[in-house]
Structure formats: C-alpha cells, structure tokens
Amino acid sequence: MYTIQGKGVSKGVANGPIYFYRRGGGEVVKTAVSDTAAEKQRFEDARATAMEQLAGLYEKAVAEVGEEGAALFEAHQMMLEDLDYIDGINDMIEGESVNAEYAVSQVAEQFAAMLAAMDDAYMQARAADVKDISNRVIGILQGVVAGGIDSDVPVILASDDLAPSETVQLDKSKILGFVTSGGSGNSHTAILARTMGIPAIIGVGEALSEGLEGKTAIIDGETGEVAIDPDDATSERLLKKQAKERALKELLDQLKGQENVTIDGRKVMVYCNIGSPDDVDPVLANDGGGIGLFRSEFLYLQNDDYPSEEQQFQAYKTVAERMGGKRVIIRTLDIGADKQADYFQLEKEENPAMGLRAIRICLTRPEVFKTQLRALYRASAYGKIAIMFPMITSVWEVQEIKRICQAVKAELREEEIPFNENVELGIMIETPAAVMMSDRLAQEVDFFSVGTNDLTQYTLAVDRQGNNLDKFFDSHHPAVLRMLKMAADNAHKAGIWIGICGELGADVTLTETFLAIGIDELSVSPSAVLPLRSAIRSTDTTVNSQKILDELLGC
C-alpha cells in the first residue's frame, strides 16, 4: 500500500479499481499489411460496431429529444452503408496493402473534399458527417472506447483532466469518482463530480501514472487522499468515513419536503445546476426547488454540428415538463474560453476567457442565437422557462438581446406556434462591468444570477483554470463579496430578485453571509441541496447580519 496526495474538490469516499480514460483522436499511421483479407475483415467488424453504437445513440436521442432531433444518428448509419464508401476503403486496402485505419482516413478525406466542392449547401454540410463517421470507425479500429470507459464494473476514473466535450459523453453509470493529475477546483471535471455527488481529487501530478491501471484504490474527496492497494487499517478508516457520510445523507433525507426558510422566517429559493436532461433525475431525487442554471452549451458540445432548433426544443421541453411547473432557468450558449466546439471555427486567441465567447458569439452570429431562442420560446409553452444571458458587460447588449427576442416572438406569432409571452429574462452577473452597471441593467431584466467562478476570475485577475493559482483564486475575497452586495442592492432597488448559480452557492460557510448580503436564490449541484437547506434552516438573519455587513464594508 502507498498513498498519493492531491486536492479534494468534491466530497465523498469511493472504493474501486482505477481506470484511465481512453481518449480518441490518435494519429493515423500508414502501415503495410500482408493479409489484406484479414484487414478488410477488421474494417467490416469496426463498421458493424459503429452501426451498433449509432443505433444505440439514435434510441437514446429519440427518448431525450424526439425523432427529429435524433435523425443525425440515423443519417450516419445510412452513410456507413454507402457502397461507394465501403468499396473505396476495401479497394484501397486491397490495392495498396495498407492498414484499415489509413484506408478509412484517406477515403474519408476524398469523400469530404468531393462533398465540400458541391454547389448544394446541404451536400456541403455532409462533408463533416463523413469525417465524423470515419473518425468513429477509426477510433474503434484503434481500440478507443465509446464513452471513454470499457469496464464491466464501476471505476475510479483517472486522467490528466477532461474537457467539457469529453465529460458530456462519459458513461456516468460506471464512475465512482475522479482522480486527475492536473485540473483546478473550477474545472469541468470537478463541476461534473459535484453534480453527480461523487468524490473527485485533482492535482495529483506525475504520481498518477498509467501503471496504476486496475489497482484497487480508496479516494477521499474531502482530504485529497488516494490510497493505492490500501491495507486493512486504511480501508477500515476510510470505509468508516464513507459509512458516516451515508448516515449523514440519510439524516439529511429527512429534510425532503421541508421549506428553505430561516429561523426568523425568511424564505430562500434553492435550485439546481444541470448540464443535460439526464441531470433532472438527481434534481428530483434531492428535492431541488427548480433549475437555476441549465448549461445549454452542453447540447452544442455533444454535437458534431450546430444542434437544430428541433433538437434543442425537445431537450428544453423535456426538462420543463419533468420539472412540473417549477422554474427552469436556461442559460443561452456559453461556448468559448475553456468550452470549445470545433464546428464553431473560432479563431485561436491569446486570452480566450476575455475573447469571443458566450453572448459575444450570439450577437455576432445572430442566426445561431435566433435558432436557440426559437427553441427556448417554443419550449416555454410546456413549463415555467426563464432565459438567462451570460457574459454581459453593457446595457446595449441587453437591449439588443431584447430586440432579437421580440423579433423571434413575432415570427412565432406569425407562424401560430404557441409560446409564453411573458418568459422571464435575466442576465448573469459575472464581470465587474456588470456589477458596476447593475443599477442600469436591473431596469432592463427580470432577475440577476451571479456566476461566482467568472466574477472571481475577472475581479482578481486570476485564471480560473490555472493549475497553480488555486491559492490566489479566492471566492471569499472581500472584493468579490462587496460586488455581490452592490449587485444585490441594485437588484432590490429595481424590484427584481438576485441569485447565485456559481459553485460558491453551495459553500455553507458563506450561507449566512449571502443572506446578510440579500441573496434571494442559491443554485447548486443537486447533491448540495439538502446540506444547504439544513444551513438555511439553522440561520437566524436577525442575529449576525449587521455585524457581517459592517465587517464586509469596513464600517
């Protein structure tokens, strides 16, 4: 037994085998083969496997977003059955005595170039589909695993770190916890772990080597301890802690159905952050009062092309209906910075966190924005949907957003498509500019929601993804808390409510401070709902609020 140490970013204890994430996209190397018949069979087996995967993805998509939204996977199956495509690959294997991976890559390039050169826009768009299905076949030939995990039992998933586009495709039913060599407390691996309510440890460094594959480990997401092949004493200590955590969860479960109300009677909205329709299950299981942040960009990250209006509509409608009339706040796409989708073809930027991202993309690509807004407004007929816009810095941006919303609503009226005329519109307060302009901005919208991760990043000039900057990334910094107070005061003066949807909302050491500042809503990972409810119900805002404000404001 030996122990390696990292930083815990999602509490809990997990026990199981270590499994390293299988990342696709390896370089295709040309190799000479002597048995071309066997190589052609390798291709045929990989093609059959790809067909099975696409069939499964189609069924899953039908259940989640409807048949129209799932049509892409059906089209990909048809492409894999194209005889010209199949014959082209087999002819290259046979004629040039090359490996199947190389033949698939070359034929894919030829087909994609041919389609891209056509005059028809629809056929041009199919070039990306040919590359996509070919990459799937190549991945299978290279041993890449769909969903990143090839294991019959749940595992502790290890990696350097995971990109948002990778986390969204993981087979989450097989993950007991995460351990990464890099990353930060604000990485999407950490956010996913907190959403799932499982332990996660980051920053283990080079000690996390692939030689650990298959070894039994117990991880403690609170302390950052990773015990490899633990001895009896270590197992007993950590498994006892796991049992205590389960007992505490059972105790907290007794709070289900209770109000989020302080001792002195102040009610607080406690909502949940989600990234996909699948995440509604833990929201309901943990008694979340609504959705405070639906990260719609994950619909874009899991696609190989812009998601259609119908695909988005079905996803938003599903969440709205399942939440049964509770408020569902959907953030418009927040692509850019650390969340990249290749088909957006964003130029490389020296400082992407301050570049073309979020609402800036929407306002410079109005056709993409309008497609999402049409889907959102259509879904508003099926539940209490609110729309939230990220990365706001100026009043003119909000006014332009509202103009586009009015244009979309006019289109839907003309087409006689039902929607809610009074959808709430809100903005994220995540830049110092938004805070300083919050008095004016509050007059334009129905609510504020503070993204504390980005607000901290921009206020303290600290990259939230920086591996070595954690001690400088201080969400408790007085400057950040003062900004919260300014935004809250201006929201209330204008008669609107203000919430927090950043990870900081789940920090129960700050719950009393947030209530003193005037925060009306806290949106957290589903697993944090009941601990937060307990903290709220234990707070009396008449006792320490003035003292907290005096200390915060330096009075």
- Residues noted as catalytic: 188, 501
Q: What is the DSSP letter of 416?
A: T
Q: Residue 202 and residue 360: Cα distance in Å, rounded?
A: 31
Among 457, 459, 467, CA closest to 483: 459
424-429 and 385-389 strand pairing: parallel
* Measured CA distances, 255 to 251, 269, 441, 540 (Å): 8, 15, 37, 18
* Backbone torsion region of residue 485, taken as left when φ is above 0, otherwise alpha when ψ lies between -120 and 50, otherwise beta: alpha
Helix (H) or strand (E) holding 359: helix 359-364
Cβ neighbours of residue 63 closer than 8 Å, sequence gap 6 or more: none
327: closest CA among 194, 484, 499, 493? 499
Give the containing element (helix H, strand E) for 389: strand 385-389
Cβ atoms of 81 and 139 closer than 8 Å: no
Amino acid 454 reads D
Contacts 24+ apart (CB under 8 A), 340-349: 340/163, 340/165, 341/165, 341/300, 341/301, 341/303, 343/128, 343/303, 343/304, 343/305, 343/306, 344/300
User: From CA 8, how far away is CA 225, in angstroms rounded?
Assistant: 8
Residue with tokens 């003066």: 493
- Give CA–CA dist 130/107, Å, rounded: 10
DSSP 6-27: -EEEE--EEEEEEEE-----PP
Instruction: Look at the block and give the residue holding tokens 């048949």.
Output: 67
Give residues with Cβ within 8 angstroms of 549, minimum separation 6.
485, 516, 517, 555
Contact criterion met (CB below 8 Å) for 338 and 182: no
Unique residue bearing structure tokens 């954690």? 470
